[in-house]
Amino acid sequence: MSVLVQCPCSSNGFVPSSSRYPIARLLFCSSVECKGRIKCPSCLSDEVVCFYCPNCLFEVPSASTKAERNRCARNCFECPVCCNTLTVVSSMDTPADAKHYLSCGVCRWDSLEIGLQFDRPTGLAMQMQKAEDDRKDVQEFANLRSHFEKTTRLAMSTAGPGSSLFRSSTSLSIPPSLLANIPALASLSAFGASKTSSFASLDGDPNGANSVANYVPKFKMDGSVAGILEDDEMDKMKKLTIDDATFLSQRMRQIGDQPRVFSGVRPQRILLRTKRAKRCKDCDTLVCKPEQKAQIPKFTVLMPALDYIPKLTIAQPPPSIPLKEGEVARCKVNIRFANPLATPIRVLLATVPPEESHTGMCRVDGISAPAFTLDAYNELSEFEDDKKNTAASGGGGWFGTKGPEIEVGLVEKRNNWAIVAVDVIVENTAVLAQGSPMQFPLLVKFFNGSDGGKDGSDSGSVSFWAVVGL
């Protein structure tokens, strides 16, 4: 049982195939341009605030992450077996002749099993990085990158400023109908075609040392690099036991060589993590920004949707319904609405009309309270005695005082929340019998203030579609 919220970026109306998220994953933008809208991950752009190591919490400058291959430059390594953090251990010799190695305190793996030890207990990352630089795949990638950097610089000098480097963008295959409506695009298309000819002459010149076709690899690929096993290697693999072979996850952590034998695994430097800020794509407003320092798990700006829109939860699960194909089943679902704001709000509920019902969705036959108000959120009210609030049966408050009145149709109302009953009709029982979830949509619209929306205007209102799954 869950309640998912549809982001308004997909459509203003209800779309069954749209992306829906739990309310805890959504943010809220209250700027003037957005006028208070829910924001899903697709509506936001990310900005990197800082790079840091999750083990030592050391902040790495952005300029150093490229040289260090996005890994920690300190003594932070992960175990190739269980991915826990490795510690540096010194052998029991004299201090002058002591050897140092990496050991895991969880699975008891150590680097002595693969013959890896160090002369000094510090600077292990630099020693490991030197070994990484000697790998064939790293050198081949550096050679490939330097070749294409020369090709790009030469192409830019030939094409001139302001032109693109991609054929798909310079050719500009514009449809004729669009050229008829916008005549100015014809000159742009001719400009792209002229620039494409310069790229074609560059790539098609067989004598050009910097052409893409004349790239010379630094290493010749053999069978071991291509993943083809020789006869002697195949015989060794047949004699391996389950303890000697590596898992797929271990091979993916060493994507360069992908060892098939357990003796070929190596400890890896821990990957860096990032703290990211999120901006609204429509108005460029910051809706989430963490602290700059990695040691502080706080946010300078955080606007979760939980603090701005009513939270919907299922008050109690509906009774089990025996499903038989061809019959219509009915049930009543109690949904709890909670107001997180410091001001009272007025909530309006609606659903999809019967003639627009979607396949796989249950139909809502009726809502007990289509319009009701929710009191403001008060932290002190959570600690008050429940007897101070009346239930639907109409009990009194303290010392015989009259408690708050329950609006017509509400099952229960206390503090800043209320429970509404929704009558659901399950018509397509054949689909539900196959294991499909029972879902129905609800349109929730709320206004600030207990009298909001009574004049018929939608100014200052916030609305969203929620899908209740049982």
Using one digit for the tens of pLDDT, what is the confidence trace for 440-468?
Answer: 889 999 988 877 767 767 777 888 989 88
Count CA atoms closer than 13 A to 311's CA, side-chain side. 18
Other C-beta atoms lying within 10 Å of the C-beta of residue 153: 11
In this prediction, residues 91-108 reach a mean pLDDT of: 80
Q: Is the pLDDT of residue 171 over 50?
A: no
In this prediction, residues 190-213 reach a mean pLDDT of: 50
- Confidence bin at 47 (pLDDT 50/70/90): very high
The least confident of 2-6, 145-149, 222-226, 411-415 is 222-226
- Res 183: pLDDT: 52
- Confidence bin at 278 (pLDDT 50/70/90): very high
Tell me 251's DSSP state. Answer: H
In this prediction, residues 357-383 reach a mean pLDDT of: 81
In this prediction, residues 418-426 reach a mean pLDDT of: 88
- Angle, CA of 69, 72 and 77, to the nearest 5°: 110
Q: Is the pLDDT of residue 411 over 80?
A: yes
Using one digit for the tens of pLDDT, what is the confidence trace for 14-31?
Answer: 777 678 899 999 999 988
Residue 347 vs residue 176, higher pLDDT: 347
Q: Please give the share of the chain, as a percent, with pLDDT higher than 90.
A: 23
Cβ–Cβ < 8 Å for 458, 427: no
- Confidence bin at 45 (pLDDT 50/70/90): very high
Decide the pairing of beta strands 363-367 and 2-6.
unpaired
- Res 203: pLDDT: 47
Tell me the CA distances in angstroms from 456 to 34, 260, 453, one per residue in order.
21, 70, 5
Mean pLDDT for the chain? 77
Tell me 383's DSSP state. Answer: G
Phi (first) and psi of residue 317, to 5 degrees: -65, 140
Q: Could you tell me how many helices (H) and strands (E) the chain has, helices first? A: 10, 22
Q: Where are the beta strands (DSSP E) in 138-296?
A: 268-269, 273-280, 286-290
In this prediction, residues 376-395 reach a mean pLDDT of: 59
- Res 263: pLDDT: 78
- Res 211: pLDDT: 61
- Res 18: pLDDT: 74
CA torsion 275→279→285→286, rounded to 10°? -20
In this prediction, residues 216-235 reach a mean pLDDT of: 63
In this prediction, residues 39-49 reach a mean pLDDT of: 91
- Res 113: pLDDT: 86
- Give long-range contacts, CB 8 A cutoff, 24+ apart: 226-231: 227/258
Question: What's the 3-state SS for 105-147?
Answer: CCCCCEHHHHCCCECCCCCHHHHHHHHHHCCHHHHHHHHHHHH
- Confidence bin at 231 (pLDDT 50/70/90): low
- Res 166: pLDDT: 45
- Confidence bin at 176 (pLDDT 50/70/90): low
Give the rounded distance of the alpha carbon of 25 from its chain centre.
9
Q: What tokens appear for 220 in the block? A: 């010749």
- Res 121: pLDDT: 82
Distance between CA 129 and CA 107 in Å, rounded?
25
User: What one-character-per-residue DSSP string does 159-178 give?
Assistant: H-TT--S-HHHHS----HHH
Three-class DSSP category at 338? strand
Which of 48, 47, 52, 50 lies closest to 272 in space, CA to CA?
52
Q: Is the pLDDT of residue 129 over 90?
A: no
Residue 212 vs residue 189, higher pLDDT: 212
Which residue type, as a one-letter code, is found at position 6? Q
- Res 277: pLDDT: 94
Q: In what order do the strands lie in the sheet with 273-280?
A: 59-60, 44-52, 273-280, 286-290, 299-302
Q: Which helix (H) or strand (E) holds 47?
A: strand 44-52
Distance between CA 266 and CA 248 in Å, rounded?
14
Q: Is the pLDDT of residue 412 over 50?
A: yes
Q: Is the pLDDT of residue 185 over 70?
A: no
In this prediction, residues 221-243 reach a mean pLDDT of: 64
Using one digit for the tens of pLDDT, what is the confidence trace for 288-313?
Answer: 999 999 999 999 999 999 999 999 99
Q: Is the pLDDT of residue 389 over 70?
A: no
In this prediction, residues 129-147 reach a mean pLDDT of: 80
